[in-house]
Amino acid sequence: METPNLEAILAELVLAEDSIDLHEPKILANMPSRQQTIDLLGEAINLLFPYMIAEGYDVQISPHKRIEKLFYMLTDCLSVLKSEEKEKTALNILSSLPRVKRALISDAIAIYEGDPAATSPLEVMTCYPGFYAIAVQRIAHVFYLKGIPYLPRIMTEHAHSKTGIDIHPGAGIGDSFCIDHGTGVVIGETAEIGNNVKIYQGVTIGARSFERDGEGRLIKGKKRHPTIGNDCIIYAGATILGGDTVIGDGCIIGGNVWLTHSLPTGSRVYYDKK
């Protein structure tokens, strides 16, 4: 058997990249692996809620040792930053975690109080996919606000793969957020959600259309997703689209509603098959 021409295959693989811009060699070279990022996420969850028993949890590690371990994991995963920025950014992220924990406790209480099947907030924290997806998004959102590339999206896509709930790390979400059931929920990057909001499975808070420049390329960075006020309920299968769509406080949106316009405070909208 002749020696296979592997060099030719490699050359073809390199040529295949010509159709896409991958000119971020420094970032790509210093990127943590996907598994490193998932391990970091698990360690953060272990620190916040050890009773959730996330992946790789070791009951023998004290909280002091755990936060120290998380700090060093952070500095390793922040290798995309300059060396002098790593420790400062890691400390800034850790200092955000008490606020994240307070928000997540409010979420667990909201889910418990809104679900007659829930026996306690602890059950919500340990068992409910909606709470897990929110927990991951709130942690990833901290990284997103710091402008850290790739890591926050890896985190939320990991939660997406585990729960079927797709929340972009850029979405701004208020306290006492409740996702009931959750499968098929989609919340876009520029969505803004107020306090005490409850949504059910299959809800989409998405973009209506995408602006393009003179060469037909998508214009990025603009607000594309709706703003949801405080104390709203959005029932299963509802779709709300558009960056200029604002849902006022206290609105109730029924199942399977398709909505592309704003609603004043206290509105009630239900699906009419006619």
pLDDT digits (tens, 9 = 90+) for 86-96: 999 999 999 99
Q: What is the mean pLDDT of residues 27-36?
A: 78
- Structure confidence at residue 97 as a pLDDT band (50, 70, 90): very high
Task: Kindly report which listed range (2-6, 150-154, 248-252) carries the lowest average pLDDT score.
Answer: 2-6
Q: What is the mean pLDDT of residues 51-62?
A: 65
**Structural domains in the chain plus CATH codes:** 29-164 (1.10.3130.10), 184-274 (2.160.10.10)
For residue range 226-265, list pLDDT tens digits in order. 999 999 999 999 999 999 999 999 999 999 999 999 999 9
Whether 25 shows a pLDDT value over 90: the answer reads: no
- Structure confidence at residue 19 as a pLDDT band (50, 70, 90): low
Whether 28 shows a pLDDT value over 70: the answer reads: no
pLDDT at 27: 58
Q: What is the mean pLDDT of residues 49-69?
A: 74
For residue range 166-221, list pLDDT tens digits in order. 999 999 999 999 999 999 999 999 999 999 999 999 999 999 977 777 777 877 87
pLDDT at 21: 64
Q: Please report where in the chains the tokens 């050359």 appear, as a residue.
A: 11
Q: What is the mean pLDDT of residues 69-82?
A: 88
Q: What type of residue sits at position 9?
A: I
For residues 129-165, one letter each, b for 16 or more C-beta atoms within 10 angstroms of the residue's C-beta and e for the rest, the string is bbbbbbbbbbbbbbbbebebebbbbbbbbbbbeebbb
**Axis crossing angle, helix 34-48 with helix 63-77, rounded to the nearest 10:** 150
Cα separation, 242 vs 207, whole angstroms: 5
Q: What does pLDDT average to over the chain?
A: 90
Contact 245, 205 (CB under 8 A): no
pLDDT at 82: 79
